[in-house]
Homo-oligomer: A and B are copies of this chain.
Amino acid sequence: MPRLDDVARAAGVSKATASRALSGADGVSPATRAKVQRVADELGFRASGAARRLATGLTRTIGVLTPSVDRWYFGSVLHGIAHAADSHEHDVLLYDLGAFGHGGHEKFERFMRRGEVDGLVTITWSLVGGDLTRLAELSIPVATVGEPTPHTRSFCLDDDAAGRQATEHLVRLGHTDLLHLASQTEVQPFDASSSDRRKRAFEAVSAEHGLRMRPVRTVPTTLEGAHAVALHFLDRPDRPTGIVAGTDEVALGVMLAAHQLGIRVPEELSVVGVDDVPSAAPFGLTTIRQDPAQHGEDVVAWIMGAMRSRGRRGGDASQPDRSHTGYAPELVVRASTAPPRP
């Protein structure tokens, strides 16, 4: 494996000049630069990342903290992040904190201990209170996607609008007896998780239109979990005529349960979800669409910008950007919603 020294010698220049030539810094004549680059190519030179990081202090890596990677939303965000990071010539260091609470804290501690990233994005807050504030210890840009947060720059669906749109869609169809299924948030450091905001939007719309007030139910975020609970609360005469689910997975679980109980969707029960997962379409699920991969791309774009501004000292004094981006939801009407039976 050739070193920079070898390239320099072969090109007849000093290590310093070779470094400048290859890194694109100026102060090198075009002729010299071309020669060095050619020689480097011929020798198959690849700069040692370790040496570069040691010298520059930059890792060209961004870290991702995620509660888990095998759920549609998280996976899609991660996909967007990976794509964007790659196009910025950055690597992605993945920290799968695992099942919530399940040793997640220890993994977080190890992450902090290594801390070899230039920027960090957390997908949802899967951290407990104490850990949250510790993130400030790393003096690197931090952003969150999936939940609005007061501590960091954040990106996610406008949950309030999403909850409203879903509920109002059913109200417009004539429903007056709705039930909201909030998906369970395992860790909930703030009083305004995504799930909460959707729930409040539901309650607000319910109140505005004088709907029957049923207490919101909290169910597991998975299809199978929601299905199991739905089998119980759907199997009674005073069930609602429509259900606003916090998530497509939940909505699909409900549709399945309804089907198994002989309740026809949408004739006897309307169901709306949020997400627009790929299987929502074939199941005919009416839902609120969001594009997590795009969120991932955007968060990386922001991180890159933030890294640049820290780069040039002076932007340092300015307040860190803790603003929030809420994406506009888009209602997708399919076959799972209809006017209630008279």
Contact = CB atoms under 8 A, between A and B. Distances in A.
A279 B226 CA distance: 11
Contacts of A278: 222-224
Number of copies: 2
A173 interface: no
B96 A114 contact: no
A82 interface: yes
B279 A224 contact: yes
A257 to B, nearest CB: 8
A49 B116 contact: yes
A92 B69 CA distance: 13
A71 B79 CA distance: 11
A92 B91 contact: no
Contacts of A222: 278-279
Interface string A219-252: 0001110011000000000000000000000001
Contacts of A110: 86, 89
The interface centre, meaning the residue of A69, A76, A110 with most chain B CB atoms within 10 A of its CB, is: A69
A308 interface: no
A283 interface: yes
Contacts of A115: 46
A14 interface: no
Most buried by B among A72, A83, A96, A278: A96
Interface stretch (A33-41, A50-58, A162-170, A196-204): A50-58
Contact of A54 (B51, B92, B252, B257): B51
A329 to B, nearest CB: 20
A312 interface: no
B69 A282 contact: no
A193 to B, nearest CB: 22
B95 A94 contact: no
Given A48-B54, A92-B94, A253-B282, 20 more contacts: A46-B114, A49-B116, A50-B53, A50-B57, A64-B94, A68-B79, A69-B69, A69-B75, A70-B76, A79-B96, A79-B98, A82-B94, A89-B110, A91-B114, A91-B116, A222-B279, A223-B278, A224-B282, A228-B282, A256-B283
Interface of A: 46, 48-51, 53-54, 57, 59, 61, 64, 68-72, 75-76, 78-79, 82-83, 86, 89, 91-96, 98, 107, 110, 113-116, 222-224, 227-228, 252-253, 256-257, 278-279, 281-283
